[in-house]
Amino acid sequence: MNEMKVQRIENGTVIDHITAGKALYIAQLLHLADSSLFVIGSNLQSSKLGKKDIIKIENYQLHEGEKKSIALISPSASFTEIRNFKVVAKETAELPEIIKELIVCPNHNCITNLEDMKSRFSLNARTMTLQCSYCEKKYTIDEVKFKRQI
């Protein structure tokens, strides 16, 4: 079955064009299971991506930090704000050059894990690698952990 209906929402946010297989991770990152009403569609057909995931969240607006984190996990993602079943705003994910606070450095001996301070990474969008500004170690997106979004 290639077609599958993912329920419409009245008010909230649609995260579309998510790299197939990444929606559950994004849902975990946003802690949607804690209190949100949401639906996930996985491995849906997409003319642009071949396969894609989608998340629809009722009564929820993404903040900028969340959008940046999602962009790193799925650079193809788009964000649509819905009010009264109508689209009121739509934007595509933008990869940040500098990522502050959102990521935990995997290096346990990095100062960012030992002091009360914000982490900072630079992104090489060509290789999709992140470099910690402090310990200078480089990581792929899959090697880093995202901080809990507030």
Partner 1 sequence: MNNLISMRDLSKADILKLLSTAEKIETGEIKVDITGKLAALLFFEPSTRTLFSFDTAMKKLGGKTLIMTGTGNTSVKKGETFSDTLMTISQYADIIIQRSPIEGAARYAAEVVDIPVVNAGDGSNQHPTQALLDLYSIMKTQGTLENLKIGVVGDLKFGRTVHSLCQAMSDFNSEIHLTSPTHLRMPRHILDDLDEKGITWSEGEALEDIIREVDILYVTRIQKERFADIDDYKKVKGSYVLRRSMLEGVKKNLKIMHPLPRVDEICKDVDGTEYAYYFQQARNGVYTRQSIIATLLGKV
Q: Which residues bind partner 1 (CB under 8 A)?
A: 107, 109-112, 114-117, 127, 129, 131-138
Contact 103, 147 (CB under 8 A): yes
In the complex, least distance from residue 102 CB atom to partner 1, rounded to whole angstroms:
17
Q: Which is nearer to partner 1, 88 or 128 (CB)?
A: 128
Closest CA to 81 of 47, 54, 58, 65: 58
Cα 150 from Cα 140, distance rounded (Å) = 24
- In the complex with partner 1, which residue's Cβ is closer, 58 or 101? 101
Q: Which is nearer to partner 1, 13 or 112 (CB)?
A: 112
C-beta of residue 83 within 8 angstroms of C-beta of residue 8: no
Which residue's structure tokens are 């914000």? Answer: 118
Q: Which is nearer to partner 1, 92 or 140 (CB)?
A: 140
Minimum CB distance to partner 1, residue 53 (Å): 30
**Shortest Cβ distance from residue 104 to partner 1 (Å)?**
13
Q: What is the CA radius of gyration of the chain?
A: 16
What is the distance of C-alpha 94 from the center of its chain?
A: 11
- As measured in angstroms, the least distance from the Cβ of 92 to partner 1 is 28
